[in-house]
Structure 1
């Protein structure tokens, strides 16, 4: 290692020497390790002593929010040395459960410098006001664990929404907030930016993603290790962890963010799909002659995956109980508990994020490398993708790669849904029941419907109750646009569904009578009209 590089490492988190006896620590830890600490180990130790979490150390050292490298380094090395060193000094084995316990243990062991000394009832004059202020500032610094939170250095708009949720949490003391929206709309980035804005108002900040369906045991353990390491016992029951979390959120001011909650949700529609498949793929007369009693079927509710029900219990209890903290969830679908708890004047609220505007769309395109974007082009891109930031970015990449960066040529070819955009929409559409899909198809063809028209035009003569439940479920899945009493779809969803219908028709083209499209006259007539208007009849 070069001298300059070593000097730089030694200077990082050097402020730790103001409050800690570093030299003694280095010597004692080297004795426990069996050899001297490395410069990197000393740096990470100083970071912990300054009150930084592994995620914050990673951010300062490696310029990333991913704390995995630092966590592994600490768990496999430094924590073990500290345990060995302290266990030599105590009658019992000392366990470092998490990063926040390091400073507590080392302070009890006498490694922290004592600046305050009482002599004859007065303060030692060597204690300066500067040091007093420094310690006060360190005590007021919130503990933050950002997990795998995304970078928000580039953030588009959302000023109104951020202000609204900030008001809910800080002024109106809302204790549970759910951010809803289609995939790609920006819920994750919004949650991180919001937490960054609110961090000085909380004692603890914990951000966790459920995208890869981490178990409730793991997530609850990680949260408790941050906000209450002393009371947590590894391997304890789920119910005890939930009770401890509720208790801790009452006694502290904490902000807990759980991202991608939809990853642990599902709708059990397999039975319904199987029963309807034969009817829909058979001849039209089969619908009338079928023995299936559609009025006895239910639209499946949104449930938790087996083994993840504990998240629902936590959400329920934090929504019902009084506490001074806030739980923030992001999801494509609204958990069942929220519907009964939320209200405009209640301490549980939900906010559906919508698309970005024209100027923000133009900003994305420019950041994606388009030197000149006129207002008309950005307006068309915004309208086609309903301002969905992810879809706009994916489209911008395709324009560069397939159309030599010419936005006008991309707009002329009319294809809207492809590649990653199609995959994202497929993921949401495949979760729907047959009745939900039929409603989506009808809205794509007809533009909008009220509940009465929906009930009248559904191909399968289901009950009004089933229709209402299906529409309610589509709303909770963030797929419907509402205007007073009517429902509609965004342009990108319409295009996606029309393409699905075309594919369905081609699939059954050898047996027109058995086609899903032509099993009902409204599908045939309205689809042809829509295809003419959209210039998609050539594909058909």
Structure 2
């Protein structure tokens, strides 16, 4: 695929778009045009038209007739290679013949990425300034692959409050921005209407144009831009579109049109990507990702060993205890920062002394962060959380049916919703799934159990 992309770029000045990529991958996998069209959500006739132009380009570059029927055979018999030298010069070739010389436009872009960056339109007006970044190399690599190689249309970046979704997405932008014509970072923290969000996006693409009043027309115009340009749009704080006191992913009254927006982005053929930063998985993502590989969820977990850098920055002592402290607070960057400040102020930075406390300590600022998520729960969810907080061991559903005073339907819906809010820990043992709360949530829920009821 790298070889094909270089060939097309050298000949046309443009990289493979989403559909060309899908056609090549489908051809290599022996799929028929009908199957490729079905997976790309376009007509078979459109796939054939794009494929005809693609085979024509490859034929002209390679000097022999390339078709869907012989493409795989030509790849097998040809000695294809991609070379990138220490000097930064690169080229692709076949059978020892240099196809794309090192003076090509493709190589110039690789040697001078800052020129590509200058050509991109970057709008990060709503993004916070990031002062530190720790670890997350595997997460960055995974997301980059999903966006650049797999051409995902929607990625739900999920995680409990404070886990680092915003920081990760901003570092991801910095890492891959040169691959896009537009990079846009709107925040939904103040719950803008879909009309407001679409208007803001369209004004970035065309500042002088009149914005239509119809949401359907606005959405159609946006889709045209997403097809014409390679765009990366990161929507932060998507959970602010959802109602408090309702099951996870239930839109506030008047915000239901966002469901249409996300569904349209996921199903239409285009070359762009929408990243949704959210505390809880949107329902349409949960429904679509099982049947559409262009829609995926990425759950952000513990910072891992990189969490020690936070404690080092806070100048804590007893380094041999840092891993225990990190594990206790689930490797959550915000939770660790708040706790580290508490240790510095009250324990002189001594981690071992802090860990000798009988009960896990929750800083007031950390409690306030947890309040933001727990005030969103329904009564059945609160009942389940309270029961799990009082369990000494993980429990299975049959046991919860006996201990939680809810109907089977309410209990199952509550468990499903809590899972989408990322508030449950699960463990498979044999053929049974066991549920529990993490060590930070347990004391918090116990302390507010009476208030929740």
TM-score by length of 2: 0.69
Q: CA deviation at 1:438?
A: 1.7
Contact 2:248-2:420 at 8 Å conserved across structures? no
Deviations 1:152-203 (A, max 9, x none): 4521111111111111111111110001111001011111111111111111
Note the 1:173-184 alignment, pairs <5 A: 173-184=151-162
Deviations 1:396-447 (A, max 9, x none): 1112222333323322233422311111112211211121112112222223
For residue 381 of structure 1, the aligned residue among 320, 325, 337 is 325
Q: CA deviation at 1:268?
A: 4.4
Q: CA deviation at 1:344?
A: 8.3
Does 2:452 align with 1:452?
no
Instruction: Report the CA distance shift for 1:435/1:139 in structure 2 as closer, same or farther (over 3 A).
Output: closer
For residue 138 of structure 2, the aligned residue among 160, 169, 178 is 160
Distance in 2 separating the partners of 1:147 and 1:326: 19
- Unaligned 5+ residue runs, structure 2? 1-107
Match for residue 308 of structure 1? 255
Match for residue 293 of structure 1? none
Give the total of aligned pairs.
337
Match for residue 321 of structure 1? 268
Deviations 1:22-72 (A, max 9, x none): xxxxxxxxxxxxxxxxxxxxxxxxxxxxxxxxxxxxxxxxxxxxxxxxxxx
Match for residue 378 of structure 2? 433
Match for residue 49 of structure 1? none
Contact 1:365-1:373 at 8 Å conserved across structures? no
Distance in 2 separating the partners of 1:222 and 1:427: 27
Distance in 2 separating the partners of 1:389 and 1:311: 30
For residue 175 of structure 2, the aligned residue among 175, 197, 204 is 197
Contact 1:176-1:327 at 8 Å conserved across structures? yes
Distance in 1 separating the partners of 2:195 and 2:406: 45
For residue 233 of structure 2, the aligned residue among 256, 265, 270 is 256
Distance in 2 separating the partners of 1:148 and 1:495: 35
Note the 1:21-420 alignment, pairs <5 A: 137=115, 141-229=119-207, 232-234=209-211, 236-269=213-246, 300=247, 302-343=249-290, 346-357=293-304, 359-370=305-316, 372-376=317-321, 378-413=322-357, 414-420=359-365
Deviations 1:195-238 (A, max 9, x none): 111111111100111122233333222221223446x4146332
Contact 1:228-1:248 at 8 Å conserved across structures? no
Deviations 1:358-398 (A, max 9, x none): x322210111233x44122x122212211111011011111
Match for residue 30 of structure 1? none
Contact 1:362-1:373 at 8 Å conserved across structures? no
- Unaligned 5+ residue runs, structure 1? 1-129, 270-299, 508-514, 517-540
Instruction: Report the CA distance shift for 1:141/1:373 in structure 2 as closer, same or farther (over 3 A).
Output: farther
Match for residue 289 of structure 1? none
Q: CA deviation at 1:245?
A: 1.1
Does 2:445 align with 1:497?
yes
Contact 1:175-1:318 at 8 Å conserved across structures? yes
Contact 1:255-1:325 at 8 Å conserved across structures? yes
SS in 1 for 2:185: strand
Distance in 2 separating the partners of 1:342 and 1:263: 22
SS in 1 for 2:250: strand
TM-score by length of 1: 0.58
SS in 2 for 1:316: helix
Does 2:448 align with 1:474?
no
Q: CA deviation at 1:489?
A: 1.6
Q: CA deviation at 1:267?
A: 4.2
Q: CA deviation at 1:301?
A: 5.3
Distance in 1 separating the partners of 2:248 and 2:424: 17
Which of structures 1 and 2 has the bigger CA Rg?
1
Instruction: Report the CA distance shift for 1:139/1:452 in structure 2 as closer, same or farther (over 3 A).
Output: closer
Distance in 2 separating the partners of 1:206 and 1:195: 9
Match for residue 90 of structure 1? none
Distance in 2 separating the partners of 1:408 and 1:417: 17
Contact 2:245-2:375 at 8 Å conserved across structures? no
SS in 2 for 1:380: helix
Contact 1:184-1:391 at 8 Å conserved across structures? yes
Q: CA deviation at 1:470?
A: 1.0
Contact 1:182-1:479 at 8 Å conserved across structures? yes
Contact 1:361-1:381 at 8 Å conserved across structures? no
